[in-house]
Structure 1
């Protein structure tokens, strides 16, 4: 049952969940935003960037189901503290010891593991501390964390990477993550008790696995399109004629657009009556249009396409998590873990894009990405129908 919490406790939960998710996302988004500088210094190309980003998301996919149960066992605050510390270790490792692709990928494995723990822990914190009538807003704010990290990464290109060097940007990310581990604070005395081992052994399978599989497929396809855009947008922008500084600023502006979309969509979920997954489909469709503009190319279309592509393909996750966790309020960690393996799309997206770009053309890779986003939108539409038919009424306080 969703627990009710005071307004102050709910606001603090939103802030902690959001900032901890930002901290966990910094290493991979700094890698994507500084792809030009990192790949030049470590001597690898387009496929290497895609593979490095895919390493992060692949680790999340492989560990998320287990770590979802760990988050339910350890509790939200303890899990977020561990996750933030792990993200800091990863960023510091990249800053100080990444001298080749394999070292960068190895530290992104650490980061991906930390992020896989942070996601269900943050969801658990929100479901336990935020009133049901504010849950859409809470997830919108929390899911604005990754584009916030992306925006910070984009701004760091002209501010840090092109001035004192990209390694200093990762050092700053490490400091931020360690600070977050401290800021999470001790577990509140009123926190829900961790799930006991005997109780965990009695857990029943999650309801309606067919619907969950469909939703996970849509989420994975959306994740694939989004991760490809994030991994290659800066590189594509510079190839189209934009300077590295301008490309970084457009990347930051696109991330800001994604933040706005996620927050507004979350508020809409609380205040309007509609099927949230239909909104996911609309956002993914808009993102596909933006990716098509990137496929068309040209310095005039790339900024507009980038904003639409990132805001659309990255705008839907907050609404998605709101929909599925509202349908499964008693097991937020487990349902997060059950969905999160779909982040394998984050592996296939960048790798597939890199292979197509290297062997066919950049345009072909962008058109394929747009098609994947449209398939994700269709899966969300069908998922909305099935979830509405199968889900029980939302839990109330």
Structure 2
């Protein structure tokens, strides 16, 4: 019985730390969203310029992801996990000290490197230390760390910015990331030696299932990054919400996504329905962006439906996608394959916000950008359906 209890405690602490890593790796994204008004006013930025800061965070993460994934397969998940806390923490500290737009871009690049490490490191650790059959719950929970970060950013950052200023608030967040580094050696078991050719064979890393996931991830990042970045500002400027309420919309949507990522991941693993789940996620996202469009005339209740619905759909794709990566790529190359999928997702995530911000500045309204996001989600749903039709799976989705 003592051995069993210790195993359960280790599983819990392992999952909690991975969730914390994902929260810190991606925290800059929701931070830029909910602090948009403060940063724009402080540094005199346009909405499009703020979008390019988010792009620096995301595009650098995209470009670096394949190399970071390959490096993760070589050095092991534990070292890569430590890098997440260091890079993300230092990046947020740099953002909080930014005296100019150029410095803010540079700080976004540093946090982007932390983001690039997030999924390769955590997926590698799960594929090495968690047996098949238990990965769905662990993956869903660790991916929900992103939504924990979104929730905390939405609820705490606006209040902190109003009380102490946005710079002090981000300084606290960055410091917490660096301090969490001390728990890595206590919680994460040593990695087993990797086979000498594990990180050198491109066959699985660039296989068709991984490339399908990369394309799908690009579309979800393009639309989801645009909408999620600007939902608080959309609530303030188009619906008339206060800063606190608009931040709460993003925060509570993040809380919804916490549970939806766990549910989608467990369902897709139990039924081996990874591609079908991705199709449903994109299709539902179309519906909920439609609710945001209707909110411009129908009022705040439709904004809440759209935001919470996207939390239950669009933002959950990562849990299913990353679980699928581990299944398709296997233990030895899960880090490299994760990096390739992230290349697509983060490229979309980097392009979406500046394009959406440009459309708002150009047309003076949010409608064109929202219609673009709706269309992009529809294409993602069609892509997933095409994947199913191109290669039928008589016993569910492929497992390797």
Instruction: Give the TM-score, by structure 1 length.
Output: 0.91
8 Å CA contact 1:20–1:84 kept in 2: the answer is: yes
**Corresponding residue SS for 1:267:** helix
Tell me the CA shift for residue 387 of structure 1. 6.6
Does 1:128 pair with 2:131? Answer: no
Tell me the CA shift for residue 204 of structure 1. 4.2
8 Å CA contact 1:144–1:259 kept in 2: the answer is: yes
Matches within 5 A, 1:1-397: 6-95=7-96, 97-185=97-185, 190-194=190-194, 196=196, 199=197, 202-206=200-204, 209-239=207-237, 240-270=239-269, 272-296=270-294, 297=296, 298-330=299-331, 331-342=333-344, 343-360=346-363, 361-384=365-388, 389=393, 394=399
Tell me the CA shift for residue 309 of structure 1. 2.5
The 1:58/1:273 distance shift into structure 2, 3 A limit, reads same
Structure 2, unaligned runs of 5 or more: 1-5
Tell me the CA shift for residue 136 of structure 1. 1.0
The 1:202/1:94 distance shift into structure 2, 3 A limit, reads closer
Match of 2:3 in 1: none
Tell me the CA shift for residue 389 of structure 1. 4.5
Tell me the CA shift for residue 169 of structure 1. 1.7
Tell me the CA shift for residue 214 of structure 1. 2.6
8 Å CA contact 1:224–1:345 kept in 2: the answer is: yes
Q: Distance in 2 between matches of 1:392 and 1:364?
A: 36
Tell me the CA shift for residue 125 of structure 1. 0.5
Instruction: Give the TM-score, by structure 2 length.
Output: 0.90
Tell me the CA shift for residue 202 of structure 1. 4.8
The 1:195/1:36 distance shift into structure 2, 3 A limit, reads farther
Tell me the CA shift for residue 189 of structure 1. 6.2
**Corresponding residue SS for 1:316:** helix
Tell me the CA shift for residue 268 of structure 1. 1.9
The 1:82/1:324 distance shift into structure 2, 3 A limit, reads closer
Q: Distance in 2 between matches of 1:180 and 1:234?
A: 29
Structure 1, unaligned runs of 5 or more: none
The 1:201/1:303 distance shift into structure 2, 3 A limit, reads closer
Tell me the CA shift for residue 386 of structure 1. 5.3
The 1:122/1:201 distance shift into structure 2, 3 A limit, reads closer
Tell me the CA shift for residue 194 of structure 1. 4.4
Q: Distance in 1 between matches of 2:9 and 2:291?
A: 44
Deviates more, 1:345-354 or 1:186-195: 186-195
**Corresponding residue SS for 1:191:** coil
Give the CA RMSD over aligned residues: 2.3
Per-residue CA distance 1:30-83 (angstroms, 9 max, x = gap): 111111111111111211221111111101111000000111111111111122
8 Å CA contact 1:230–1:310 kept in 2: the answer is: no
Tell me the CA shift for residue 237 of structure 1. 0.3
Per-residue CA distance 1:152-176 (angstroms, 9 max, x = gap): 1101234201111111221121122
